[in-house]
Amino acid sequence: MVLWILFAFLTAGVAAILIAPMMKASRRLEDDREGEVAVYRDQLRELERDRQSGLIGADEAENARAEIGRRLLSAADAASKSGGDAATFRRHGLPAAFVVLCLPVVGLCLYLTLGSPGLPAQPLEARLANPGSNMALLVAKAERHLAENPNDGQGWDLLAPIYFRLQRYGDSELAYRNALRFLGETPARLAGLGETLVAASDGLVTEDARGLFERAIALDQGNMRARFYVGLGLEQAGRTADALRAFEALAKDSPPGAAWEQLVAQHIAKNGGTPKAAPLGNPTAEDVAAAQNMGQGDRQAMIRGMVESLSAKLADDPRNIEGWLRLVRSYKVLGEDEKARDALKAGLKAFPGPQPEAQRLLALAREIGVSLEGMTQ
Partner 1 sequence: MIIELGHFALVLALATAIILSTLPVIGARRRDPAMMAVAPIGSLTLFALVAFSFGVLTWAYVVSDFSVANVWENSHSMMPIVYKFAGVWGNHEGSMMLWLLILSLFSALVAIFGRNLPETLRANVLSVQAWIASAFLLFILLTSNPFIRMNPAPAEGQDLNPVLQDPGLAIHPPLLYLGYVGFSVCFSFAVAALIDGRIDAAWARWVRPWTLAAWTFLTAGIAVGSYWAYYELGWGGWWFWDPVENASFMPWLAGTALLHSALVMEKRDALKIWTVLLSIMTFSLSLLGTFLVRSGVLTSVHAFATDPTRGIFILAILTLFIGGAFTLFAWRAPRLKSGGIFAPISREGSLVLNNLILTVCTGTVLIGTLYPLVLETLTGEKISVGAPFFNLTFGLLMIPLLIIVPFGPMLAWKRGDLLGALQRLYAAAGLSLFAAVAVFYFRHGGPVMALFGLALAFFLIFGALADLWQRGNFGKAKFSVALRRLAGLPRSAFGTALAHLGLGVTVLGIVAVTTFQTEGVVEMKQGSTTEVGGYTLAFDGMRDGKGPNYTEQRAHFTISRGGVAVADVWSSKRLYTARRMPTTEAGILTFGLSQLYVSLGDPMADGGIVVRIWWKPFITCIWGGAFIMMFGGFVSLSDRRLRVGAPTRKAKPVKTVMEPAE
Partner 2 sequence: MTRKQKRLAIIAGGMSFILCAVLLVLFAFGQSVAYFYMPSDLTKTTVGPGTRIRLGGLVEQGSIVRGNGSTVSFKVTDGQQSVPVSYTGILPDLFREGQGVVTEGVFNSAHAFVADTVLAKHDEKYMPKEVADRLKKDGVWQPEGTATK
Residue partners of 110: CB distance under 8 A and separation at least 6: none
Per-residue x/- mask for partner 2, residues 325 to 354, rule CB under 8 A? -----------------------xx-xxxx
Q: Which residue in 48, 80, 134, 149 binds partner 1 (CB under 8 A)?
A: 134
Confirm if 87 and 105 have CB atoms less than 8 A apart: no
Regarding 219 and contact with partner 1 (CB under 8 A), the answer is no
Confirm if 252 and 214 have CB atoms less than 8 A apart: no
Residue partners of 124: CB distance under 8 A and separation at least 6: 140
From CA 299, how far away is CA 104, in angstroms rounded?
63
Per-residue x/- mask for partner 1, residues 309 to 348, rule CB under 8 A? ----------------------------------------
Q: Which residue in 5, 81, 93, 116 binds partner 1 (CB under 8 A)?
A: 116
Residue 16 CA neighbour count, 13 Å, CB half: 6
- Of the two residues 88 and 116, which places its CB atom closer to partner 2 in the complex? 116
Min separation Cβ 243 and partner 1, Å: 33
Regarding 103 and contact with partner 1 (CB under 8 A), the answer is yes
- Of the two residues 54 and 255, which places its CB atom closer to partner 1 in the complex? 54
Part in contact with partner 1 (CB under 8 A); list of ranges 28-36, 154-162, 224-232, 277-285: 28-36
* Angle, CA of 149, 152 and 158, to the nearest 5°: 120
Min separation Cβ 89 and partner 1, Å: 10
CA 138 to centroid of chain Cα atoms: 17
Residue 336 CA neighbour count, 13 Å, CB half: 16
Regarding 63 and contact with partner 2 (CB under 8 A), the answer is no
Dihedral Cα 274, 280, 281, 282, nearest 10 deg = 140
**Residue 50 binds which entry of partner 2, partner 1, none, CB below 5-8 Å type-dependent:** partner 1
Min separation Cβ 208 and partner 1, Å: 18
Q: Of residues 32-61, which lie at the interface with partner 1 (CB under 8 A)?
A: 32-40, 42-43, 46, 49-50, 53-57, 59-60
Regarding 132 and contact with partner 1 (CB under 8 A), the answer is no
Q: Which residue in 81, 93, 120, 338 binds partner 1 (CB under 8 A)?
A: 120
Q: What does the DSSP 8-state code read for residue 119?
A: P
Kindly report the number of other CB atoms within 10 A of residue 5's CB atom.
9
Q: Specify the DSSP element, H or E, that contains 16.
A: helix 2-23
Q: Of residues 69-98, which lie at the interface with partner 1 (CB under 8 A)?
A: 71, 75, 85, 90, 92, 95, 98
Q: Which long-range contacts (CB under 8 A, 24 or more apart) does 136-145 make?
A: 138/162, 139/163, 139/166
Query: CA Rg, the chain, in Å?
Result: 40
Part in contact with partner 1 (CB under 8 A); list of ranges 1-9, 156-164, 198-206, 240-248: 1-9
Min separation Cβ 54 and partner 2, Å: 25
From CA 73, how far away is CA 276, in angstroms rounded?
118
- Of the two residues 115 and 272, which places its CB atom closer to partner 2 in the complex? 115
- Taken as a whole, the chain contains a residue count of 377
Part in contact with partner 2 (CB under 8 A); list of ranges 20-28, 159-167, 329-337, 357-365: 357-365
| Interface contacts to partner 2, rule CB under 8 A | 348-349, 351-356, 358-360, 362-363, 366-367, 372, 375-376
